[in-house]
Amino acid sequence: MKVLLTGGGTGGHIYPALALKKRIEERYPDSEFLYIGTERGLESKIVPENAVPFKTIKVEGFKRKLNLEGILYNLNTIRLFLSGISQSKKFIKQFAPDVVIGTGGYVCAPVCYAAAKAKVPTVIHEQNSVAGVTNKFLARFVDKIAVCFEEAVTQFKGNEAKVIYTGNPRAQEVAGIKKTPILKQFDLNPDKETVLIFGGSRGAQRINQTFIDSYQKLSEQPYQVVYVTGEVHHQNIISQLEKKYGESMHTESIRVVPYIQKMPEVFAAVSIVVGRSGATTLAELTSLGIPSILIPSPNVTEDHQTKNALSLVHHGAALMIRESELSEKSFVEEINRLMKDEDKRKEMADNSKKLGKQKASDELIEIINQIT
């Protein structure tokens, strides 16, 4: 089987594609893969690191603000989209895939459109509870639409018959991870209650500032903390902590790191996770059954992270703090409330586990088999 994957911009679009690739390889060892992304997105780093053949096209997303600058930008975006279709056609002709799978991000638009027009079986995968603009555009052209949240099933008007609720391939990939002593790599006690706090693959400025303000209070708690800043923010946060707290910032109970390579393994080793509510993060948390405090990013299309978070909150699997309500007080109080209530954490963990769709890759492979 020859599979062309496309998706990019953030880890939330890339990791599901790579998880699906891994499962396809397990079931069909002779499979070949090509990944099409952009030079500017995270895929340009992550995909080659995973030894997947990688090609790039130039494409940009649309600006929503339609002033003169926005209009000129969007005209260029249309030009790049048309150019991207032409580039994609060449790659598709050279690789001759049996199926094309798009996992989100604007790079999918020209690739999946070109594939569909070339009569190559094409699937798009929507990770969020609110369907993205690119996937809504592609819905009429592709063969199947896989979704991760039941709330998204009805959002592809006129194309509902194509929609299948599969869940996220990343969930199946991490489902079997067990608790290990991985916290030792941070010089922490793997047997002590631990809170993991992070703001997504690129970090989150508001969460970072709240952590800085809360550092002293967190250091006084009976639990440990691992804080992930995002690589671009790490040195600045260390500098701010040193300036604000001096030598007192060097505590045995808090570790501040730029990035964690094996995040799901750390998820499985901690008591709770505090962070954004991107679709891939939630897929991992529910697959592993981890209680969480979610702080949705307000800077995303149609506020979809809030809707993602509410899908867990309404099932008793998570708590939520809106960024507009985030403060040192609310941050520390909510963490402490959950860390002091072991029964509540166990209840949330059980509810989280019930939400996990742990056969998403296999279901997507069945869809591929049906259309190829």
| 240 marked as part of a ligand binding site | no
Antiparallel, parallel or unpaired: β 163-165 and 194-198: unpaired
Q: Residue 345: is it exposed, middle or buried by C-beta count within 10 angstroms (0-12/13-18/19+)?
A: middle
| 185 marked as part of a ligand binding site | no
Task: Kindly state the tokens that stand for 247.
Answer: 């030598």
pLDDT at position 323 = 94
pLDDT at position 204 = 84
- pTM for this entry: 0.84
| 335 marked as part of a ligand binding site | no
Residue 316 φ/ψ region, left for φ over 0, alpha for ψ in the -120 to 50 degree band, beta for the rest: left
* Fold type of domain 182-355: Rossmann fold (3.40.50)
pLDDT at position 66 = 66
CA distances from 167 to 77, 343, 357, 361 (A): 31, 28, 5, 8
| 74 marked as part of a ligand binding site | no
> Which CATH code for domain 2-168+358-371?
3.40.50.2000
DSSP 167: -
Residue 249 φ/ψ region, left for φ over 0, alpha for ψ in the -120 to 50 degree band, beta for the rest: alpha
Q: Assess whether the region 2-168+358-371 and the region 182-355 belong to the same CATH fold.
A: yes
pLDDT at position 200 = 67
Antiparallel, parallel or unpaired: β 122-126 and 144-147: parallel
The residue extents of the domains of the chain are 2-168+358-371, 182-355
Q: What is the mean pLDDT of each run of 10 residues along the chain (372 residues)?
A: 94 92 97 96 93 94 70 79 95 98 95 98 94 93 95 91 94 92 96 93 82 95 95 91 86 92 94 94 94 93 90 96 95 97 97 88 96 95
| 275 marked as part of a ligand binding site | no
DSSP 124: E
| 351 marked as part of a ligand binding site | no
| 10 marked as part of a ligand binding site | yes
